[in-house]
Amino acid sequence: MCGRYSITTPPEAMSRLFELSGPISNFPARYNIAPSQDVPVVRMPLLGGARQLAMLRWGLVPSWAKEGAKPLINARGESVADKPSFRAAFKRRRCLLPADGFYEWWRPESGPKQPFNIAPRDGGLLAMAGIWETWGRPDGSEIDTCAIITTAANATLAPIHHRMPVILAPKDWDRWLKTPETEAGDLLPLLVPAPDDLLKAYEISTRVNRVANEGPELIAPLEPETPQTVNQTVPKKNDTEQGSLF
């Protein structure tokens, strides 16, 4: 699962990395992005063209959903091509969600959960695989929403959490974004754990637990008085997506 992440890379640098066209929103550095917030997403225009950056609401609402449906922040890679909530978006509306890192919480045998920051070992941006959908409000207006695709954790993440976002390498960005040129079934091999040496994970302050908290101190490494050792046994947790409709 991925339920919180950060973007601190300036929009101009993001534009160069993803080779974007069109205007770029001037969004500030954000260290505690949460579901229901608007997030920058890289996608291709439905009628073709170059990559663009758009601000979408994090929490996918299927086009056919009724008012009051619970937004879906994650979609399991194992079922995204078949599940009614996601299959149309996976076939026609794929996107990338840039991130400098994301957060996960390790649950010890006793005591409170410990947050970890997971970030690229060598710095830089991650491109998380996503899907998006347009939902029509009862008043006739529309909103574009998105979800992050997840997969099984790699060796770096498994001691902390059993799921992780699908992270796509630059060589796969065009293949992922070009719809419908790329058949959805041909993309399933991309929905796998990231290489074990791509990421680093370290303990951070529980200040990240509160969505209202912001700032670079949230990703500062924690220096506990008594260092903890993460149990190497993968915790057993519910495999379903957070807020799934089905």
Residues assigned a catalytic role: 2, 104
Which segments of the chain does DSSP mark as H helices, in order?
11-18, 87-92, 173-177
Tally of CB atoms within 10 A around 141: 8
User: Do the beta carbons of residue 167 and residue 151 sit within 8 Å?
Assistant: no
Backbone dihedral region for residue 166 (phi beyond 0: left; psi -120 to 50: alpha; all else: beta): beta
In degrees and rounded to multiples of 5, residue 179 shows phi and psi of: -120, 140
Distance (Å, whole) CA 18 – CA 93: 18
Tokens 């941006």 identify what position? Answer: 125
